[in-house]
Amino acid sequence: MPRKRSSPKRKQAPTTPASQQELPLLDLRAADLPPAPPDTSRPADASPRSTRTIEFLLRALPVGWRDKTRDLLVLVRMDRPIGALLLLWPTWWALWLAADGFPPWKYLAVFTVGVFVMRAAGCAMNDFADRKLDPLVQRTAGRPIAAGRVKPREAIYVFVGLCLLGFVLVLAFTNRLTIELSFAGAALAALYPFSKRYTHLPQVVLGAAFGWGIPMAFAAITNGLPPVCWLLFFGNVLFSTIYDTEYAMVDRDDDIRAGARSTAILFGEADLPILAILMITLLFTLLLVGQRAQLQWPFLVGLGVALLLFAWQLWNMRWRQRDACFAAFRNNNWVGGVVWLGMVVALAIR
List pLDDT tens digits, range 28-59: 343 343 443 444 556 666 788 888 999 999 99
Secondary structure (3-state) at 36: coil
Instruction: Provide the residue type at 212 as one letter.
Output: W
Report the alpha-carbon distance of residue 138 to residue 58 in Å, rounded: 27
Question: Residue 44 has what pLDDT?
Answer: 62
pLDDT at 258 over 90: no
Per-residue model confidence (pLDDT) at position 198 = 86
Q: What is the mean pLDDT of residues 315-327?
A: 96
Q: Is the pLDDT of residue 25 over 80?
A: no
- Amino acid found at 315: W
Predicted pLDDT of residue 39: 47
Residue 85 has pLDDT above 90, yes or no: yes
Residue 298 has pLDDT above 60, yes or no: yes
Digit-coded pLDDT (tens) for 262-282: 999 999 999 999 999 999 999
C-alpha–C-alpha distance, residues 162 and 153, integer Å: 14
Quick one: pLDDT at residue 26? 38
The string of DSSP letters for 61-125 reads S-HHHHHHHHHHHHHTTTT-THHHHHHHHHHHHHHHHHHTSSPPHHHHHHHHHHHHHHHHHHHHH
pLDDT in tens, 205-227: 999 998 999 999 999 999 999 99
Q: Is 30 exposed, middle or buried (0-12, 13-18, 19+ CB in 10 A)?
A: exposed
Give the separation between CA 287 and CA 137, rounded to whole angstroms.
38
Residue 13 above 50 pLDDT?
A: no
Backbone angles phi, psi at 218, to 5 degrees: -65, -40
- Residue 235, CA distances (Å) to 67, 211, 232, 264, 281 in order: 40, 9, 5, 19, 8
pLDDT of 140 reads 87
What average pLDDT does range 118-140 have in this prediction? 91
Question: What is the predicted pLDDT for the residue at 43?
Answer: 64
Give the per-residue pLDDT at 31. 39
Tell me what the pLDDT averaged over the chain comes to: 88
226-251 pLDDT per residue, tens = 999 999 999 999 999 999 999 999 99
Contact between 275 and 284 (Cβ < 8 Å): no
pLDDT at 223: 97
**What CATH topology corresponds to 48-349?**
Tetracycline Repressor; domain 2 (1.10.357)
Are 333 and 82 within 8 A, CB to CB? yes
Is pLDDT of 7 > 60?
no
